[in-house]
Structure 1
């Protein structure tokens, strides 16, 4: 999932450089959402591993 977030971030950067503001904004938003989901799942995984031992 982190790979997808990075992919959308790179798409947003390229679109921003080329002047496609709408696409850049949408890609940046998707990248942010995917990154937050990744962090939440990562923290949940760490907690579950600590609980199990």
Structure 2
């Protein structure tokens, strides 16, 4: 999931360079959402891993 976030960030940067403002904003918002989902899942997996030890 982190790979998809990086892909959308790169897509947003390239779109911004070429002047596609709407596409850049859309890709950046998707990247932001995916990053927060990744972060939540990462924290949950950390806590679940510590309970087993």
Task: State the TM-score bracket (shorter-chain normalisation).
Answer: over 0.9
The secondary structure found in structure 2 opposite 1:19 is coil
Matched with 2:8 is 8
Per the normalisation by structure 1, the TM-score is: 0.99
Q: What is the CA-CA distance between 1:5 and the residue it aligns to?
A: 0.3
Per the normalisation by structure 2, the TM-score is: 0.99
RMSD between aligned alpha carbons?
0.3
| Cα distance in structure 1, aligned partners of 2:52 and 2:44 | 12
| Cα distance in structure 1, aligned partners of 2:3 and 2:32 | 12
